[in-house]
Chains A and B, each alone.
Chain A
């Protein structure tokens, strides 16, 4: 009969799990899905803004995780690798859709900036993670214009040039804000994780 073996999922790190997935372990894959599908769905909803499209995104992203598990490099962290796949898919999809005549991501009533820094808007409270709390906290420490540049790019799918045009700033200014923003974020996060 079936070969299901429940393991104490939380005892195993993401990185151990993805290495098991690379060896064809479907239960490890399922555990990673359970851990991360809400974050991926949240990201997809925030960028793509349509439930059906976001559901597609979740399926495609985890399918890619399954297919690419063998290329996961030992020593790296799983979450950014996964989000890289997810973000790449969502932004490609967003740009593809934007190329057709459709309402674009941003609108004046719901500017990107104000919609992002609220940790609790529609999140399932049970899914709030420590990682999320730390990242939200770090983002809030950034100067507003740095955060704005990062968010317009990451969730809005805008290029640096588009952001510069949108905000009426020189391209170099936008690049600098992104660099400083990410540097500062990295510094804060390293401090936070080190303190864990």
Chain B
């Protein structure tokens, strides 16, 4: 207990309700830092006062609030936990950088699908494993709700890439431009990931200036947090190499 400051019971209610003037609040905080008696009293008053929150009508917030919070939490946990660093250490730290950059870049993309179609109309586009035009694929994805850009890194600097997806669906379309050609025996591979999981997806080569890659995922696209493209051996891999060339948030 402290001799030269008065106990502050008379300020407890005002403090608990955040209804004090700034000077009074400082007095309380200085005092409870040194007086266990008042701190205890204050906690009791605070806990009663805060139950007033129940007087507000409870209303479910929209789902996007939860998605954003859970994503932020997952990201923070992923970036701060040393799990699996043994195996993919450099990869993870690279991801940390990419994820940060991608976070900053998010929201800057407003180009519509229509504009995308117009820009690509004359280009011959080859789909993964099947002959289909980009237009047809775009038509298929015309109702997509979400477009995500990927950041290009390393040898892919200068390339652009976007993912078209609809939350809840197990498919997406990745459209990449200006990826450099790879040496024989090498290919690009797409991955979706969340903390603790790298899901290998399509393998493709970049023979055209614009490539579109159909992605089919075991679980809905919005259950993953990130999408990335790495350079792998032509037959593809089960764990990503450290050569990430594109990375983005989902």
Q: Which residues of A does B touch, CB under 8 Å?
A: 1-3, 24, 26, 29-30, 33, 37-43, 45-46, 54-55, 58-59, 62-63, 66, 76-77, 79-81, 83-84, 86-88, 91, 116-117, 119-124, 127-129, 131-132, 134-136, 139, 150-151, 153-155, 157-161, 163, 175, 178-179, 181-182, 185-186, 189
Contact = CB atoms under 8 A, between A and B. Distances in A.
B62 A43 contact: no
Interface of B: 10, 12-14, 16-21, 43-62, 64-66, 68-70, 72-74, 76-77, 81, 194, 196-197, 219, 223
A76 B57 CA distance: 25
B217 to A, nearest CB: 12
A45 B53 CA distance: 11
Nearest to A119: B57
A24 B51 contact: no
A45 B13 contact: no
Q: Is the interface of B mostly helix, strand, loop or mixed?
A: helix
B53 A160 contact: no
Contacts of B58: 38-39, 41-42, 123-124, 127-129, 132
Contacts of A40: 53, 61
A83 B53 contact: yes
Contacts of B74: 26
Nearest to A154: B52
A41 B60 contact: yes
26 contacts: A30-B66, A33-B66, A38-B60, A58-B69, A59-B72, A66-B76, A79-B53, A80-B50, A87-B53, A116-B55, A127-B58, A127-B60, A129-B58, A135-B55, A153-B19, A157-B18, A158-B19, A159-B14, A159-B19, A160-B19, A163-B19, A175-B10, A175-B13, A181-B13, A182-B48, A182-B49
